[in-house]
Structure 1
Amino acid sequence: MKPLRKENDPHTNADITSSYLESIKRNYAALRQFFTEMPKGGDVHNHLTGSAYAETYFELAAKKNMYVNLETGKLYAQKPMDIETIQLSKDMDDLHNHRMALIDKWSIRNFQPYKYPLGPDEYFFGTFGLLSALTGDINDLAYLMHELKVRAVKENVQYLEVIGTSPSVPEDCFLGDDYEQFDKQLKECVKDGNYEDVQDTLDEVFNLFEKNSENTVETYNNFINELDNMSNTFGNHLNVDTSDLVCRYQGYSSRGSEPLKVFAQLYVVHKACLQKEYKGKENVLKGCNIVAAENGEKSMMYYRLHMEMFKLLNSKFSNIPTSLHAGELTIGLMRPEHLTYHISLAINTGKANRIGHGVDLPFEQDSNDTLKMMADSKIPVEINLTSNEFILGVKDSEHPIMLYKNAGVPVIISTDDPGVLRTSLTEQYTLAVLRYGFSYEEIKSFVQNSITYAFLADEDKASINEDMKIMFTDFEKRVSSRHPAPNVPVSED
């Protein structure tokens, strides 16, 4: 029998695991094997409708006998009169070829830029409109959410924080006859570049929201919680038990909408987050975000105004955390002078608790001050490597991940839209080490950050941390038993 390794032996299981990772840093397959097995904590930046794979959308569409235009890939619940479509079914002729063609339409698989008239960013964001006929129904969304949970368990992920859905608000945004007046005021503020009185205007609008939105807030909160409950009712052929997976949700508004609609949706999300329980259980809606292409016309025109909205809501609901998509931009995507302020505005004006993407950091004015603010205030950045590579064309040393890491900003590795992007959290960790050479200790800190800065109650964080501690101990023991350090005996038990 081999002698046991002593507790005070410098070659601990963690040390050996660290040494093994160092030895495989340029081995793509070995890294994938390593990170498949490693506990990964949380994926805190993933969009529900972009996280489900195209195969699942096809299965649902065929089951519901939906119609699709094969040229564009757009789905229709009912046969349109003036658009050429075919009806999908599980028994249709040429099922396989149609399925393969639509998977290519609904994801980046086999994307060929020379065949697409616009850029990869337009292709990516356009995908969501193709699938909208399947993403407005709670039953379909619950099925997509079930897929995310199954994958998380299979991938050794302990926590999902999902950017779920935006609330529906009335056309007048709870303002009635006052809509046009406030719409004009806010747009004049933006046109003149004068934000001196914007907080007063937003406060007036807020007070009308408070009077008129109660039913909408309740409806939205019920929708999110029922969506999560329903996602637990499906069976799966992998026999995966998702009951131990912790899952919470962010609500959001699309920054491409009219300003008052954005504000109304952000308000509803914040207000709904205040509810502590739903039917005797903890409310799963925990935070707020703003999404959509950051270089869109309305996104750019109203960016400062959106941050002022978050500022006002933060003053009213200071305990509702926010994660803001900010700096999902790069040189060539827009005029360079507009790359200089998005992250700093999200932090200093929008009061963001976390920053999603943060890719344009190197172009920002006073970027070192922004990094110091993020490091000192513990405002993490959510890094989405595959997303940034495809949508922005940013990878390797062009990506600012090392600027954040070296400045002491908490880094979180996440997926963004793994279904559309054909990736996984395992792959994101693999790319992080392959491209940037992170050590095992640094990787573990990223995993820890995904829980430390999650929008979770402290008791939930403590529980997950206890579970992860055991998981990492077991993981390191398995790795060290397979790859022992030289001349270090390994226990046989």
Structure 2
Amino acid sequence: MIRRFWTGVGLAVALVASGAQAAPDVAKMTSGELTAFSRAMPKGGELHNHLSGAIFAETLLAWAVEDGLCINVKTLSVTPPCQPGEDLKPASAIRTDEVLYAAMIDSFSVRHAGFRDRSGHDQFFGAFGRFGAAGARREGDMLANVVDNLARQNTFYLEAMVTPQGVASRVKGAQVGWKGGDLAAQKAANTAVGLEALVAVAMAETDVMEARARSLMRCGAPDAMPGCQVTVRYLVQTSRAAPPEQTFAQLQLGVALIAADKRWVGLQMVAPEDHPLSITHYSLHMRMVDFLTDHGRTTKAALHAGELSMAYATPEELRYHIAEAVRVAGARRIGHGVDLPLETDAEGLAAEMAAKGILVEVNLSSNDAILGVSGQAHPYAWLRRRGVPVSLSTDDAGILRIDLSHEYARAADEGATYADLRTSARNAIAFSFLTGEGLWADPGAYRHPAKACARQIGKAEPKPGGCADLIAASDKAREQWRHERLLATFEAAAR
């Protein structure tokens, strides 16, 4: 066995005596080597990213100061501009009050275990309400922050979860009221009160958000930030912790928006899966998605399902959530999927997901912080062994104080090989909701390139003809071509 170093990254790579190049042995890397390795590795994309939860507390607090907001020192939350009083201080107070500043960072994150005697679950989900005012009207700033951080980690595709016209759509749903489960009547009533008129408003807001992000990153200028190179698509967040008529209205608006604007590519349902309304209406929600998307044939869905453990749900609830997301709602991807081994006929469900190519978005740090599920207790390795496609993602990087590279390093530290990490990166594009055919005939395995691009993947440019035509016509193939070129360059550094 010969030892060489990963040129430019300083990471050891094992080579067999015959001279054939072997995969880097991430299991033998030190913590520092693994950190550097994971940051340099092209990671394809990020499929499970809540934009509002992706921003670090320090950035949110800086925005609160800039916007003249206030801090409630009792609840450690940001409020709109206020008249300072006993419990209210201007946000600018954090500039001189180090104790308050540290407490606010603790309030907005899970860095302090047991903060204010809260569980990780309660601290995590409660943080959104405490920092929400700091991110209001800062969507473009958030987008710029997230994509630039991804680009600096050699990752150039993002599907961001955003809630378009969330309040307005819920108001429409409340106005209509619940029609007793007649979903066709519910849809018609929403249309009658002008729900679809919100599509144009949502598209205009998307324009504003992206223009702000491009401006902040100086896109098109000689000193443009790396984030300008990231391709972004959006998933419509809808709240499962709401009365059913409001959830349905959000979903219906999402379907209409996705049909009208190619930047919006899929549906999501968010909020704690163990919330009383989420539990009560779970099966109804799956039927809503099935009805509005024609079982995923007209609109794709990537649904949070199985973000549960026995600490937060009964055995009865752990038996069916993922199965219904797959079999009733027609979900193309599952977010979290932590309780899959506890579902009825878990092995059969995993085999079905493997056969259908239904990917699980794996969020290791999130599942540890919220559910206390980590290491051997996490199903990540179990899913891989059963051929279920998986891809690592962050969930809410700011609250968790991580980044995508951290999740790759953590996966390696918990037993994933370099081949597993590379497959995760490829899966993040192959199982994305980008339009068009892909570069691979066997997504998830990556042994057989599309016929048009055989023996060309990883090259600087495709040859004129079929492969070039495929890339020109397909958003997915174009992103895969870029990623494969980055990956080839990264791996060639070992030679």
TM bucket, shorter chain: 0.7 to 0.9
Corresponding residue for residue 229 of structure 1 = 211
Aligned-pair distance for 1:100?
Answer: 2.4
Q: 2:237 touches 2:268 (CA, 8 Å); kept in 1?
A: yes
| TM-score, normalization by structure 2 | 0.83
Aligned-pair distance for 1:384?
Answer: 0.2
Match of 1:216 among 186, 192, 198: 198
Judging changes above 3 Å, is the alpha-carbon distance between structure 1 residues 308 and 316 closer, same or farther for their aligned structure 2 residues?
closer
Aligned-pair distance for 1:421?
Answer: 0.1
Aligned-pair distance for 1:399?
Answer: 0.5
Corresponding residue for residue 300 of structure 2 = 321
Q: Which residue identity lines up with residue 407 of structure 2 in the other structure?
A: Q
Q: 1:224 touches 1:285 (CA, 8 Å); kept in 2?
A: no
Match of 2:41 among 38, 41, 44: 38
Judging changes above 3 Å, is the alpha-carbon distance between structure 1 residues 447 and 171 closer, same or farther for their aligned structure 2 residues?
closer
In structure 2, C-alpha distance between the alignment counterparts of 1:396 and 1:460, rounded to whole Å: 36
Q: Which residue identity lines up with residue 475 of structure 1 in the other structure?
A: F
Aligned-pair distance for 1:290?
Answer: 0.2
Aligned-pair distance for 1:159?
Answer: 0.5
- Give 3-state SS (helix, strand or coil) of 2:82's partner: coil
Corresponding residue for residue 179 of structure 1 = 177
Is 1:240 aligned with 2:225? yes
Q: 2:158 touches 2:233 (CA, 8 Å); kept in 1?
A: yes
Bigger mean CA offset, 211-220 vs 404-413: 211-220
Is 1:60 aligned with 2:63? yes
Judging changes above 3 Å, is the alpha-carbon distance between structure 1 residues 83 and 267 closer, same or farther for their aligned structure 2 residues?
farther
In structure 2, C-alpha distance between the alignment counterparts of 1:461 and 1:446, rounded to whole Å: 16
Show the 5 A alignment for 1:146-225: 146-167=144-165, 168-169=167-168, 173=172, 176=175, 179=177, 182=179, 185-186=180-181, 201-211=182-192, 212-225=194-207
Q: 1:175 touches 1:209 (CA, 8 Å); kept in 2?
A: no
Show the 5 A alignment for 1:341-356: 341-356=320-335
Corresponding residue for residue 120 of structure 2 = 120
After superposition, the CA RMSD in angstroms is 2.2
Q: Which residue identity lines up with residue 112 of structure 1 in the other structure?
A: A
Aligned-pair distance for 1:242?
Answer: 2.2
| TM-score, normalization by structure 1 | 0.84
- Give 3-state SS (helix, strand or coil) of 1:457's partner: coil
Q: Which residue identity lines up with residue 425 of structure 2 in the other structure?
A: V
Q: Which runs of 5+ in 2 are unaligned?
A: 1-16, 437-473
Q: 1:52 touches 1:420 (CA, 8 Å); kept in 2?
A: yes
Q: Percent identity?
A: 28
After superposition, what is the alpha-carbon deviation per residue over 1:385-441, rounded to whole angstroms, capped at 9, x for unaligned? 0000000000011111122111111011100001110001111011111102x2222
Q: Which has the higher contact order (CA 8 A, sep 6+)?
A: 1
Aligned-pair distance for 1:71?
Answer: 2.8
Corresponding residue for residue 442 of structure 1 = 420
Aligned-pair distance for 1:160?
Answer: 0.9
Show the 5 A alignment for 1:407-426: 407-426=386-405
Corresponding residue for residue 488 of structure 1 = none
Show the 5 A alignment for 1:267-346: 267-276=252-261, 283-315=262-294, 318-346=297-325
After superposition, what is the alpha-carbon deviation per residue over 1:140-168, rounded to whole angstroms, capped at 9, x for unaligned? 11111110011011111111110012433
In structure 2, C-alpha distance between the alignment counterparts of 1:363 and 1:77, rounded to whole Å: 44
Q: Which runs of 5+ in 1 are unaligned?
A: 1-8, 187-200, 277-282, 482-493
Q: 2:27 touches 2:413 (CA, 8 Å); kept in 1?
A: no
After superposition, what is the alpha-carbon deviation per residue over 1:26-83, rounded to whole angstroms, capped at 9, x for unaligned? x222111111111010011010010011111011001112100123221111216887
- Give 3-state SS (helix, strand or coil) of 2:268's partner: strand
Question: How many residues are aligned here?
Answer: 436
Match of 1:23 among 13, 17, 28: 28
Judging changes above 3 Å, is the alpha-carbon distance between structure 1 residues 87 and 250 closer, same or farther for their aligned structure 2 residues?
same
Corresponding residue for residue 455 of structure 1 = 433
Q: Which residue identity lines up with residue 78 of structure 1 in the other structure?
A: P
Aligned-pair distance for 1:213?
Answer: 1.7
- Give 3-state SS (helix, strand or coil) of 1:355's partner: strand
